[in-house]
Structure 1
Amino acid sequence: MASGFTFLGTPIIIDGTLILVWLIVFLAGIFRGFAGFGSALLVVPALAYVYGPAQAIVIEVIIEIPVALGLVFGALKHAERKAVLPMLSMFVIFVPTGAFFASMIDPQPLKIAISILVLAMLVVIAQQKRLAAFITPTGTYLAGAFAGLTQGMTAIAGPVFATAILARGAPSQQARANIVCLAGGLIGLACFSFWAVGLITWATVAYAILAMPALMLGVWVGARLFNRLSDWNLRPIMLGFVAITALATLAQALT
């Protein structure tokens, strides 16, 4: 028999569904710790399947807050203003716009859009080096606008702005710092935007806080795996798992 408790005024039932959510978030954390990105690609479609798309995108953004805070402060001194500020200016406009759309779109179409976007992002990741070669300075603004819009609508934007940053050809430490700072900006703007349009509820906050330890533990495990197994390419396995999750969510939304 399932047991439960009340947290932040929300009844929490400890059952197979909740355990599955913790496992998914943990696996997403491993991917994030190993590859440096991509937790939303797994968390959002999986949680959309369980809780619905609106709650899924809010939970994903909230659970990323500790990870973002832990990385941003160390990255600020290495970040390049010329790379970060133009894209941030686009985020300020388009993240709230995407959040507004997310609050207005019916759950089923939004779930379909999330699943398709995840599959598209997998293609972007696979072709990241080739795509980076086609991004011009003007394209950086367009990438920032698109990343902001997708962040607000689906909480998935990393591959888009990461590709634009890599196109600049900066040293790896500076490129990573730029990506980390932009990711932090996206999370902060998304939290404000979701609150402004009424998507953040006590229930989503409660579920997110309960999921945070699983993500943090996964990030720690993923970082250790990278240090020990960096020659063994874990990324294709995780990307395959992401694709299966997105396809399952898409199939569920279409039935």
Structure 2
Amino acid sequence: MVFGSGLPLSEMWILVGAAYLAGLVRGFAGFGTALIFLPFAGMVLSPVQAITVLVLMDIVGPLPMLPRAARHVDKGDLARLLGGAVVALPLGLYALFLLDSQDFRYLVSGASLIMLTGLVLGWRYAGALPPRAVAATGAASGFLGGVVGVPGPPVIFVYMASPKPATSIRANITFYLFGYDWMVLAMMGLAGRLDPGFLVTGLMLIVPNMLGTVSGAALFVPGYERAYRLAAYGLILGAALSGLPFWSAGE
């Protein structure tokens, strides 16, 4: 059986499983969607297809959180993050369009492993965050997100060190990543890189991704945050290593 996107059923099941697992990790750990999904998606999709499907799959996830988060957004900082991303995201997407699947898989797994190392070691930027630094963070995030579909590391490692209240930081990151998703779709559309078949695939994967998120949230028990975090780290490590091309025969 082949889907409208041209994927055989076996490859579609890989995407469904990856979408569910990514949602599961986000449900009990609060992060990790791209870090889990992209290494597996890169096995069966081209770089552009993988990021298109990820963005569409993930675009509805933040919707329930937006009304509450809106009360805590620092609009100035959010504008700087998005402004930086608008400038750098086209450069990242241009680099993405030049990548072949093997190079993309190495970059995705490498970015995931670096991100995981930073999370385990507790990396944080400790300096002041003037407006230019916030804009530069958005630019770095936009470029990285364009190339490998993982915009989170610059924002997490730099912006999380801000002296602003935790509610404001979470709200800005939530709105920033939501805006980033729409920017990716808009810029890919302008570049003529959106394949209708894979738009449908991305929308189909919303269901297993949301089921995974609900399952992960149901598994979460307050007081065991460290155990959940370690489980998330292990799954991210497994996904990153599994996504490396040298495991695949004939590549």
Return the TM-score normalized by structure 2: 0.88
Q: 1:169 and 2:163 equivalent?
A: yes
Distance 1:223 1:30 in 2: 8
Distance 1:219 1:229 in 2: 19
**Which residues in structure 2 correspond to 1:85-234 (within 5 Å)?**
85-128=79-122, 130-134=123-127, 136-137=129-130, 138-227=132-221, 230-231=224-225, 233-234=227-228
Runs (5+) with no aligned partner, structure 1: none
Distance 2:7 2:136 in 1: 42
1:95 Cα deviation after fit: 1.5
1:190 Cα deviation after fit: 1.0
- Matched positions, count: 248
1:211 Cα deviation after fit: 1.1
Distance 1:87 1:10 in 2: 34
1:161 Cα deviation after fit: 0.7
1:225 Cα deviation after fit: 2.1
1:187 Cα deviation after fit: 0.7
- The equivalent of 1:14 in structure 2 is 9
1:196 Cα deviation after fit: 1.9
Decide whether aligned partners of structure 1 residues 114 and 198 sit closer, same or farther in structure 2, where only a CA change above 3 A counts: farther
Runs (5+) with no aligned partner, structure 2: none
Letter in 2 for 1:214: P
Q: Which runs of 4+ in 1 moved over 6 A?
A: none
Distance 2:192 2:75 in 1: 32
Q: 1:54 and 2:30 equivalent?
A: no
Distance 1:173 1:159 in 2: 19
Contact 1:132–1:163 (CA under 8 A) maintained in structure 2: yes
Contact 1:59–1:205 (CA under 8 A) maintained in structure 2: yes
Return the TM-score normalized by structure 1: 0.87
Contact 2:39–2:109 (CA under 8 A) maintained in structure 1: yes
1:136 Cα deviation after fit: 3.6
Contact 2:29–2:232 (CA under 8 A) maintained in structure 1: no
1:76 Cα deviation after fit: 1.6
Letter in 2 for 1:112: Y
Residue in structure 2 matching 1:28, options 5, 22, 26: 22
